[in-house]
A and B are shown apart, each in its own frame.
Chain A
Amino acid sequence: MSSETTDAEARERLIDLAAEFYDQFEGGDIPHLEVPTRSKSNIEYDEDADVWVYGDRKSTRSANSVRGARKLLKAVYTMEFLAQQLEEGRSSTLRELYYLSESWDEKEAKFGTQSESDKLIEDLEIVSGVKREDLHMRPEESGAKIMGPLRIREQTRRGDREIHCQEDVGQGGYQIPNNPDTIEFLENDADFVLCVETGGMRDRLVENGFDEEHDAIVVHLGGQPARATRRITKRLHDELGLPVTVFTDGDPWSYRIYGSVAYGSIKSAHLSKYLATPQADFIGIQPEDIVEYDLPTDPLSDSDVNALESELEDPRFQSDYWTEQIELQLDIGKKAEQQALASRGLDFVTDTYLPERLDAMGVL
């Protein structure tokens, strides 16, 4: 998947897709659309790229059932809308698309739920080979906030801006745009990138001056990272040659956050080469940290246990390291938040824990 597709190219791809349907009709075939199956069972490891991509299993939407016919009709209407949007140089959010469909004349083409339209956009993204962003479709969630010794230039609608991510920003840091490819890296004095899951921890790091002390670029993931966040992280690694580390809570959902940064997500595995940073390392909280630092914990709930066991089956987590850690956690039956380190004092995390871990990982 190319990183940049012009509007014209994107539009042409959509029309090519429509032409495929046209040919199917003309040939008297049953109109259909094939997309890779987007589930855990169809994730494969791509050795060259070192990321996880979709395998060969396909799902077919075919007009030979009532349901399939409806889906294809919606797809075609959506394609027309996107082509129109591209021609006009406009963009919209996923949610707006869902509401927009209500205004279409054709009853059968209206979306019932937003998740339906979201999935369709994903389908189209994969099949047309055009990124969602290049189709001018934006999600709700905003991207990461960055704080660190980095000077960038952003191309906005209102002109170019040059920003230093420590000097020119407030306490909150620099908010990346939806399409991080509009950012150009100018200069940097960073040694590594530290991705942080929670806002609270991020604030702790900034307050304690961690970014200045260790020349780290602190990227606030904000939970499950948006595509833009993952993209910028990858670019920081690839273009600036900076090692990337990830610091999250110690529970299965957080491990998945790490996974989507490092390995690629299941929902956008077709974009893994564009979004994933396979070299990213996991700092913690590791289950062995819980034991070693005797952190305050919560017991694992049933869903936590299920999630851990599911991760044992997840091909992305089937390394020795992860298998050991997950089984340890199942044994101790506990989870801990990253902010639990405060039980050892507010400065423990920046004075002791992180330096020790980063040193062990060879980053510091």
Chain B
Amino acid sequence: MVEIFAEAVAPCATRTAKRSTFTPPPGGFYPRNGYTRHRMTSFQSTLGEGEEAIAEELAASQREISIAEFFEKNKHMLGFDSGARGMVTAVKEAVDNALDATEEAGILPDIYVEIEEVGDYYRLVVEDNGPGITKEQVPKVFGKLLYGSRFHSREQSRGQQGIGISAAVLYSQLTSGTPAKITSRTKGSADARYFELTIDTDTNEPVIQDEGSTTWDRSQGTRIELEMEANMRARSQLHDYIEHTAIVNPHARIELREPNDHFKFERAEGAELPAETEEIRPHPHGVELGAVIKMLNATDSHSVRGFLQEEFTRVGAKTADSIIDAFRDRYFGREMVWPVDSTVWPPNAEAGEEDATGADAVRAAVTDAVSNKSGDDTAAFADAVVDELGSAASYSELEAAVAAAAEDVSVETGTTFGETVRENAVEAVWEVLSATRGDDLYSLVDAATSVQKDDATVAGIARRIGEKFDEDTPRDRLTRPDLRQFVARAAETTEDVDDVTVGETSRENITDEIWDAMALVTDDVPLTREVADERNAARDLLDAMTAVDVMAPPTNCLAPITPDLIEAGLKKEVDAEFYAAATRDAEVSGGDPFVVEAGIAYGGEIPADGTADVMRFANRVPLVYQRGACATTQTIKQIGWRNYGLDQPGGSGLPNGPCVILVHVASTNVPFTSESKDALANVPEIEDEIELAVREAARELKSYLNKKRSMEKRREKQNVIADILPKMATKVSEMTEREALNVEDSLARIMNNVLVEADVADGALSIVVENHDDVNANPEVTAILSDEPSDLSAGSVVEMDGEWFVKWEPSVSGGDEAELTANVPDGASCELSVKGIEAEKLTVNQ
């Protein structure tokens, strides 16, 4: 909730509803008044002496305003614009709170909403069976804006959706002048507490007008009563809001009583509380710079490594190390590595005139640098350095090599090679190593550039890059951007002087090649508080976090409704003949996990003309306004519904027909298009998931419609033939002057039917099931007999009220038949009832 407000005040913060990174400066908000400064400046320039007085005057009139005061003047931003909308928002806040509170306490919600006309105003009452609020908390919860427990929790919650109930209190106070009346009772209390309160808009503090204890028929719960200016033009939105809330919260029972109507939305049978969600820590890919700095300041960890593992989700030791390496690259850079075998002694000797090359040159350098040590010791040292150095080294590696060599030699010879000696040695060796930069770089540049560049060009580029190193880069340590610069400048010079092109791709390739050859720096990374203080370091850390692959965040912070409950919810409020639902697996967007679910209801009592009804939800809260701007609606419009059996003129747009489409997006951070949180923003990952979820449900619709159509065809065929056949039979029996015929059997055979026939004759009962279809049939046959049967060959019999019910469930394969026989007294009658076979495929003869 904090961030909506923050967005309203500081437009430089992002407009999406990400967790706020904007911290209110201490002391409160200033009005958006850059204009004051400009004015002061122009005054300053034009006036001479009087300027100070003006400035003071202006300064005196500046003051802080409270949140409440801001809200007072900007109600529309938070859903309280018109009288119609205001009522819906107030109901929404209260109902959301009630649902959240009861769920958290593990209670199945039972919520009562009443709206009554009271003179010029409307009175809103919302009651719940939740755990109640303590008497200390009531004033703050209802009387202080932006107060609540949900702001910082990173789990799916309705609370993310709104500013809070206190805004409704303020609205009611502003429009009707009367205080809010709150009754609450916690479990086990003898009495309920009663409060009448308002909000002091200057201080954003509750003002208790009245307080006391009172009797109440609920043993626990909360009741809020608000009087406000409103109008019932939003009746249908209000009704939709409650009805839709009931659909996606099938575990709740909600009652709505308003001036013209009374609705009860019952709990779905067997619906339980949604799964408990757990709060998760932020994901490295989902935080912004300000948040990182804040976290660095707040953490207990001293080391960055510890900070990463403690404060973020999905960061273990290995990931932390990867991030830190990436951080090192950005913060420190890497060090260039120079090969040993290209060195010569003395450094910069002309070709052919060197005294030693390669390792020998290194030895020579070391020997030259060391004084005051015996020849043998020095030689030993030099050898040791060469050994430690290996084939190539960066400056740091050189330092380490020298140190190691000194240690070894100290142990061996007993002579100490102290700091100064080591430093000199390092310097000397470095001189020879780095003397041949240009030549050394040649092979890298050559590998990176195409065959078309001739040797001279390559050599030229390599040399020029080498020259760059000399100037401002101690240790030949560079960040990648710096390296890129070097390459760019070298390339430019080459282009000018040698008249060849070195394009962007080449430069990029050269940079890559060199960067890959450079060595990671193993310096200690700074501590967390140091990084917090230095913005560039924090920036580098954030970049490193983003660059490293991190596993998607866990999804136990989400509680999807699940397909069964979506269907149950739809079933109880929408009278349809077909229901389908689908829940996708959780995905990630911008570091926040989300889950998309879809549901479809079709046919039945849903009105057939007009477009399909789209119900949109975010975190189990209905989205009622701004339907056209919502990503959900847009995604649904783009689906080709004809493919799924619905009429869609023009091939795009909402489909026509008796259909309800439900979409629910649950996330720790649902992205909206504006601060009023009515419509989902167009985030590609979420849109893709919406489409996939809807298509999953639509596929079930398609097969249902296909089946329905083929059943209709069957029925038609059956009707025509059932009409014709008896006429034919009558004709032939007339012509042949034989008895009238029964055509049922022939009919059954024609329709690939299952024929069930009962025959009672001479004390014998015979029930036959003939399966003329080619698939198995498993009918449930019930024969109601007027007399008791004996010697049943199959099935079971039960007596009830003087009648005998024979129950038989044969399994008959295609083309086969099954028979039940029994003995019955003469004159017994038999009535058949068959279940388990569709009416169109069943023929019953009795």
Q: Does A283 touch B at the CB level, under 8 Å? A: no
- Tell me the residues in window 51-88 of chain A with beta carbons closer than 8 Å to chain B beta carbons: 63-66, 69-70, 72-73, 76-77, 79-80, 83
Q: Is the CB of A21 within 8 A of B732?
A: yes
* Complex contacts, B298 vs chain A, CB 8 Å: none
Question: A108 with B741: in contact, given A28-B746, A80-B734, A80-B735 (CB under 8 Å)?
Answer: no
Q: Pick from B717, B721, B731: contact of A76, CB below 8 A.
A: B731
**Alpha-carbon gap, A78 to B725, bound state (A):** 16
Question: In the complex, how many angstroms separate the beta carbon of B727 from the nearest chain A beta carbon?
Answer: 6
B736 within 8 A of A: yes
B720, B732, B745: the one within 8 Å of A69 (CB): B720
What are the residues of chain B within 8 A of A64 when measuring CB–CB? 721, 749-750
Q: Are the C-beta atoms of B728 and A31 separated by less than 8 Å?
A: yes
Max chain A CB contacts within 10 Å: which of B731, B734, B749? B731
Closest to B752 in A: A64
B735/A63 in contact, CB under 8 A: no
Contact B736 A25 (CB under 8 A): no
Bound: A28/B741 CA distance, A = 10
For the complex, is A26 an interface residue (Cβ under 8 Å from B)?
yes
Provide the residues of chain B in CB contact with A26, threshold 8 Å: 741
* Contact of B725 with A69 in the complex, beta carbons under 8 Å: yes
Partner of B741, one of A22, A73, A76, A77: A22
* Interface residue from B724, B731, B738 paired with A63 (Cβ < 8 Å): B724
Looking at the assembled complex, report how far the CB atom of A201 sits from the nearest CB atom of chain B, in whole angstroms: 49
Distance from A75 Cβ to chain B, minimum over Cβ atoms (Å):
9
The listed residue (A15, A30, A69, A109) touching B736 by CB distance below 8 A is A15
Write out the residue numbers on chain A whose beta carbons fall within 8 Å of the beta carbon of B741. Answer: 22, 25-26
Q: How far is the CA of A76 from the CA of B741 in the complex (A)?
A: 15
Q: Which of B702-761 contact A (CB under 8 A)?
A: 717, 720-721, 723-725, 727-729, 731-736, 738, 741, 743, 745-746, 748-750
**A140 on interface, CB distance cutoff 8 Å:** no
Contact with B along A7-51 (1 / 0, CB 8 A): 000000011001101101110111100000000000000000000
Write the chain A residue with the least CB distance to B749.
Answer: A30
Residues of A within 8 A of B717 (CB): 65-66
Q: How far is the CB of B222 from chain A (nearest CB, A)?
A: 67
A18-B736, A22-B738 known; A28 and B749 CB under 8 Å? yes
Report yes or no: A18 in contact with B750, Cβ–Cβ below 8 A: no
Q: Given A63-B721, A73-B728, answer yes or no on A22-B750 (Cβ-Cβ < 8 Å).
A: no
CB pair B729–A25 under 8 Å, yes or no, is yes
Contact digits for A86-121, partner B, Cβ 8 Å, 1 yes 0 no: 000000000000000000001011000000000000
- Indicate which residue in B727, B748, B749 contacts A108 across the interface (CB closer than 8 Å): B727
B104–chain A nearest beta-carbon distance, Å: 63
Is the Cβ of A63 less than 8 Å from the Cβ of B728?
Answer: yes
In angstroms, Cα B741 to Cα A31, docked, is 13
Task: Give the distance to chain B from A340, nearest Cβ to Cβ, in Å.
Answer: 56
Residue of A14, A25, A70, A72 contacting most chain B CB atoms (<10 Å): A25
Residue contact A30 to B750, C-beta cutoff 8 Å: yes
A22, B746: Cβ atoms closer than 8 Å: no
Is the pair B724, A22 in contact by a Cβ cutoff of 8 Å? no
Residue contact B723 to A24, C-beta cutoff 8 Å: no
The closest CB in chain A to the CB of B726 belongs to A25
- B725–A22 touching, CB < 8 Å: no
B interface footprint on A291-333 (CB within 8 Å = 1, 0 otherwise): 0000000000000000000000000000000000000000000
> What total of chain B residues lie within 8 Å of the partner, measured CB to CB?
23
Find the B residue at minimum CB distance from A28: B745
Q: Please indicate the chain B residues that have their CB under 8 angstroms from the CB of A24 in the complex.
A: 746
Chain A residues closer than 8 Å to B720, beta-carbon distance: 66, 69
Please give me the residue from chain A that is nearest to B724 by CB atom: A69
Interface residue from B731, B733, B735, B749 paired with A29 (Cβ < 8 Å)? B749
In the assembled complex, how far is the CB of residue B590 from the closest CB belonging to chain A, in whole angstroms? 60
Complex contact A19–B725 (CB within 8 A): no
B-side contacts of A65, CB under 8 Å: 717
Residues in chain A near residue B727, CB distance under 8 A: 73, 106, 108-109
CA distance A15 to B748 in the complex (A): 26
The answer for the CA separation of A63 and B746 in the assembled complex, in Å, is: 9
Is there an interface contact between B732 and A22, defined as CB atoms closer than 8 Å? yes
Most buried by B among A14, A63, A79: A63
What residues of chain A lie closer than 8 Å to B723, measured between beta carbons? 108
A30 and B723 alpha carbons, distance in the complex (Å): 15
The chain A residue sitting closest to B733, CB to CB, is A22
In angstroms, Cα B548 to Cα A179, docked, is 102
Q: CA A196 – CA B724 in complex, angstroms?
A: 49
Bound complex: CA A163 to CA B724 (Å): 52
Closest CB in chain A relative to B595 CB, distance in Å = 50
Within the assembled complex, what's the spacing in Å between the Cα atoms of A31 and B743? 10
By the criterion CB–CB under 8 Å, are B738 and A73 in contact? no
Q: Bound complex: CA of A24 vs CA of B728, how far in Å?
A: 12
How far is B750's CA from A64's CA once the two chains are assembled, in angstroms?
Answer: 5
Known contacts: A63-B725, A73-B724, A77-B731. The answer to whether A31 contacts B736 by CB under 8 A is: no
Contacts of B734 in A (CB 8 A): 80
For B749, list chain A residues within 8 Å (CB).
28-30, 64
Which residues of chain B are near A25, meaning CB under 8 Å?
A: 729, 732, 741, 743, 746
Residues of B close to A83: CB separation below 8 A: 735
Please, how many angstroms separate the alpha-carbon atoms of A73 and B731 in the complex? Answer: 9
Are A72 and B728 in contact (CB-based, < 8 A)?
yes
**How far, in Å, is A112 (CB) from chain B's closest CB?**
15
Instruction: Kindly provide the distance from the CB of A302 to the nearest chain B CB, expressed in whole angstroms.
Output: 42
Contact A29 B736 (CB under 8 A): no
Does B724 contact A70, Cβ atoms closer than 8 Å?
Answer: yes
Do A31 and B746 touch across chains, with their CB atoms under 8 A apart? Answer: yes
B427: shortest Cβ distance to chain A, in Å?
103
**B-chain residues with CB within 8 Å of residue A108 when the two chains form the complex:** 723-724, 727
Chain A residues closer than 8 Å to B725, beta-carbon distance: 31, 63, 69
Selected from B732, B743, B745, the residue in CB contact (under 8 A) with A18 is B732
Q: When chains A and B are docked, how far (Å) is the Cα of A69 from the Cα of B726?
A: 11
Chain B CB within 10 Å, residue with most, of A24, A28, A66, A79: A28
B746 CB contacts on chain A under 8 angstroms: 24-25, 28-31, 63
Residue numbers in B under 8 Å from A69 (CB-CB): 720-721, 724-725, 728
Q: Which residues of A contact B745 (CB under 8 A)?
A: 28
What is the chain B residue whose CB lies nearest that of A26? B741
Shortest distance from the beta carbon of B478 to any chain A beta carbon, whole Å:
85
Say whether, besides A25-B729, A28-B745, A29-B746, A79 and B724 are in contact (CB < 8 Å): no
Q: Bound state CA distance, A260 and B749, in angstroms?
A: 43
- The smallest beta-carbon distance between B742 and chain A, in angstroms, is 8
Q: How far is the CA of A28 from the CA of B757 in the complex (A)?
A: 13
CB distance from B168 to the nearest CB of A (A): 66
Task: State whether A21 touches B728 (Cβ < 8 A).
Answer: yes
Using a CB–CB distance below 8 Å, which chain B residues touch chain A?
A: 717, 720-721, 723-725, 727-729, 731-736, 738, 741, 743, 745-746, 748-750
10 intermolecular pairs with C-beta atoms under 8 Å apart: A21-B732, A22-B736, A24-B746, A29-B749, A30-B746, A64-B749, A69-B724, A73-B724, A73-B727, A108-B723
Closest 10 CB pairs of A and B: A28-B745, A18-B735, A64-B750, A18-B732, A76-B731, A69-B724, A21-B732, A22-B732, A19-B736, A25-B741
Beyond contacts A15-B736, A19-B736, A73-B728: 16 other A-B pairs, Cβ-Cβ < 8 A, are A15-B735, A19-B732, A21-B728, A22-B732, A22-B738, A28-B745, A28-B746, A31-B725, A63-B721, A63-B728, A64-B750, A65-B717, A72-B728, A76-B732, A80-B735, A106-B727
